[in-house]
Amino acid sequence: MRYHDLFDLFRDKVNYADPCIDFCNGLVLRNFDFHSKVRFPSPSLETSANTALPSSILADMGGNDGVYALLNRADAEIRENLHFRYQGMFPSSRAQARGVVFMFHGFNEKHWTKYLPWAAYIVLNTGKAVIMFPIAFHINRAPAAWSESRSMHRLSKERRRLYPELISSSLSNVAISTRLHNKPERFVWSGLETYHDLLDLVEIIKRGGHPAIAADAGMDFFSYSIGALLVEITAMTNKNGYFSQSRNVAFCGGPVFNRLSPVSKFILDSEANVRLYSYLVEHLDSHMKNNPQLERLLTGMEEGVNLRSLLNYRVNLKYREEKLRSISDRFYAVALEQDEVVPPYEVINTLQGSRKDIGIRVDVLDYPYPYQHENPFPAGIFSGGGLTAEIDRQFKRTFDPICDFLA
């Protein structure tokens, strides 16, 4: 099926309520319940001052019951992040999937809309199921109030007033920008929490506890944007040898954190980005010295060590490149020439190494229509005529090699 056909197929038909949605074309979408065990953050890690808005603004935003208070609530109290549903796209012809591709999304995503055609195309062309698993505090793991337009517009307006030189603040990114500005260590917590949630799901599958995936199913990964960091951590750690045969795809992702440019009205505002960079790159060592538990996470746990090596290009460079070299034959990346958030040369610099001697395949593509990192296939913006056909062609050009690699 063409990209636009798939995009239209899922329009207004996908929800989290129905256990199973049959699209009558060989595709079935299923919803599954999940409970996160919330290993991160622990109370002792919640130490950062709330610096993004003063108390007067907190009062203006509704005091202890307002939106700002909700954004500042302890992460372990966000029930939506603990109990949620994840979705899977399956071939309708099989009772249990014999192979599965875990799909991870980008930073500040609020729904799976753009990913549904990607997942469907992978299912139709590989025969494998695709599990769309949300990163902590994203999509349906975040309270609906964080996406409520009126409140977010007010909060964005306040941030612009407080920071006159603020760039790219919007109602779309103000919730995540405020939360990370307040506590930039949340980047570490949410990443490691999602990693352990994934391991829990993998172990459910392997002990035969998943209703739609066979216990001996092969497991591969597709990631987009920041989701590639999660896949890199998973592949580099290879817990219990679970992922020794897994194949890994990064689309518009793959560089270490400090080689990304995430300031965008769809991702982060400039003040949140500066705060996050300061914490994760410039002053991480001093934060670890002042917080022994954070230091244990990033130096005493292999997944934490791997995460730390993916934050700063120069930190643990040799270690990171040895890890990437060990999985190079099972890793494939696709970058876009005009991507300003994840520049293609930075994908190459990280994945192929400082000496360009790591054999990870990186294809750099360009499309003959206006696109951006957040929306490489702008269905719904262009309708009819040559542009629709061209977007279909470029989608196929991009995803046919991805499906061949994952098949």
Encode pLDDT of 274-312 as tens digits: 999 999 999 999 999 999 989 999 999 999 999 999 999
* Best CA proximity match to 16, nearest among 28, 26, 6, 30: 30
Looking at residue 76, what is its pLDDT? 87
CATH number for the domain that contains residue 81? 3.40.50.1820
Looking at residue 383, what is its pLDDT? 54
Residue 279 DSSP one-character state: I
Which residues neighbour 235 within 8 Å (Cβ) at sequence distance 6 or greater? Answer: 221, 243, 246, 248, 327, 330, 331
Task: Summarize the confidence of residues 43-47 as an average pLDDT.
Answer: 45
Residue written as token pair 């934050």: 311
Q: Is the pLDDT of residue 386 over 60?
A: yes
Structural domain boundaries enclosing 84: 3-406
Torsion of CA 367, 333, 299, 102, to 10 degrees: 100
Look up residue 135 and give its amino acid: I
| Angle at alpha carbon of residue 139, lines to 138 and 141, rounded to 5° | 65
Q: Are 269 and 166 in contact (CB under 8 A)?
A: yes
Residue written as token pair 């469907």: 120
95 — pLDDT class (breaks 50, 70, 90): confident
Is beta strand 83-91 parallel, antiparallel or unpaired with respect to 97-104?
unpaired
* Best CA proximity match to 252, nearest among 187, 194, 337, 310: 337
* Best CA proximity match to 68, nearest among 169, 145, 164: 145
Which residues neighbour 374 within 8 Å (Cβ) at sequence distance 6 or greater? Answer: 106, 264, 266, 267, 341
CA distance 96 to 163: 53
Looking at residue 41, what is its pLDDT? 59
CA distance 84 to 310: 28
The pTM score is 0.94
Number of domains in the chain: 1
Looking at residue 51, what is its pLDDT? 46
Element at 288 (helix H, strand E): helix 284-290
